Structure 1
Amino acid sequence: MPAFKNRINSLYTLPDEAFDKLEESTQTKTLKNNDFLLDYHSICRHIYYIKKGMVRIYYIKDGREITEWFAYDDNFCFSIISYFNEEPSNLIIQCIEDSEIILLPKKSLEKLSDIDLNISKLYRSMFATSLILSQYRMEALQFETAFQRYEKLMANDPEIIKRAPLKYIASYLGITFETLSRIRNQLH
């Protein structure tokens, strides 16, 4: 699991012994395109590492699917509110490609955090990173134009543009499919 270890160490460098403990607590799951990693109103009991593939995180509002986030190769995702409050999730995590996922169980992470300071620091770093990314996303939706959001996505996350269906990208950017088409035509 060199990619997983490298990703973990990019958040907080774990000594080999601590990483081995962490790795022992994980499970690997293989899912197909359109399979659900976390279904509506299920409780999120894991942090998910996308070893290979792509998922979208979305919710349903007034019968429409609103894409909140994408996670793909070498990234983490989870439903924050459900994870912390142990309540049914309004967010849905669905594969949009065949995917291989490593599951980090909450109970194991909490136990390991209690006995290993390095894992506790990793755990904190994971949450801090998630909060920072969420703040950036909210600021983009509040203060940037649709055109600016698309340009930023092209610059910072071109994999999403290459791999995700345009209707999901439009929803993620908070715009209609037609607006996304106009923006893409202006740039190409």
Structure 2
Amino acid sequence: MKELKKHVRTLFDLSEKEAEIFLSQFTRVSLSKNDVFMPTGKVCHTIGLIEKGLMKCVYHRNGEETVFEFAYENSFISDYYSFVTLTPSEKEIRCLEDTIVHTISRESLEKLGKEHVFIESMSRKINERLFLRMHERLKSMLLDPAAERYQKLVAERQDLTQRIPQYLIASYLNVKPETISRIRKKISNRP
């Protein structure tokens, strides 16, 4: 929890006391590999903050899985669309590794927001970051070649390519697994 507090303080420019207040309403949950954090079809009323582990967010269509995003240490995780609109989730969030996640309910978060002004500022910053991240991802999917999208993923977290199976990386980048093999081969052959 110490690392999470440090991360939250830095991310939102909070004092030690503010970070403690915010994190005090979170509950530590241990999940195993393949456990579902958020199932398809249920309204999401929870936001998680990952201490350790890795999750994937996927859409299911015609028996196929399409990876929307990965979440790992120090990442917030939720079906934010479902959380905001109060509509059933269209995606599933599942653990790729044994995971420790700290969760907060909508009710607790709203209560905190009413009691502490700085929570509103945090909420705005989270919304801005989510928008910017989705904008960059969409722009990259439309404009960047697959190799560049792969390199951006690696630049974000180099260890992800060791932790995530190649077929899931391919799904996330919207390419075939063979394309990932070719990209990796080109990168490893560079002087």
Residue 167 of structure 1 is matched in structure 2 by 167
Shift of 1:94: 0.4
Bigger CA drift: 153-162 or 82-91? 153-162
Residue 31 of structure 2 is matched in structure 1 by 31
Residue 90 of structure 1 is matched in structure 2 by 90
Shift of 1:24: 2.5
User: Structure 1: any 5+ residue segments left out of the alignment?
Assistant: none
Identical-pair percentage = 28
Are 2:144 and 1:149 aligned?
Answer: no
Secondary structure of 1:71's counterpart equals strand
CA contact (8 A) 1:31 1:95 kept: yes
Give me the TM-score of the superposition, normalised by structure 1: 0.94
Bigger CA drift: 107-116 or 51-60? 107-116
CA contact (8 A) 2:9 2:15 kept: no
Q: Structure 2: which amino acid aligns with 1:24?
A: S
Aligned residues: CA RMSD: 1.4
Counterparts of 2:109 and 2:100 in 1: how far apart (Å)?
20
Q: Structure 2: which amino acid aligns with 1:141?
A: M
Shift of 1:117: 1.2
CA contact (8 A) 2:34 2:94 kept: yes
Secondary structure of 2:44's counterpart equals coil
Q: Structure 2: which amino acid aligns with 1:132?
A: L
Counterparts of 1:102 and 1:156 in 2: how far apart (Å)?
22
Shift of 1:133: 1.0
CA contact (8 A) 2:31 2:95 kept: yes
Counterparts of 1:165 and 1:142 in 2: how far apart (Å)?
24
**Where in structure 2 are the equivalents of 1:117-128 lying within 5 Å?**
117-128=117-128
> Would the alpha carbon gap of residues 151 and 18 (structure 1) be closer, same or farther in structure 2, given more than 3 Å must change?
closer
| Alignment coverage as a number of residue pairs | 188
Counterparts of 2:51 and 2:133 in 1: how far apart (Å)?
20
Counterparts of 1:54 and 1:92 in 2: how far apart (Å)?
14
Q: Which has the higher contact order (CA 8 A, sep 6+)?
A: 1
Are 2:64 and 1:56 aligned?
Answer: no
User: Structure 2: any 5+ residue segments left out of the alignment?
Assistant: none
Counterparts of 1:51 and 1:16 in 2: how far apart (Å)?
18
Q: Which runs of 4+ in 1 moved over 4 A?
A: none
Counterparts of 1:111 and 1:80 in 2: how far apart (Å)?
18
Residue 135 of structure 2 is matched in structure 1 by 135
Counterparts of 1:167 and 1:146 in 2: how far apart (Å)?
14
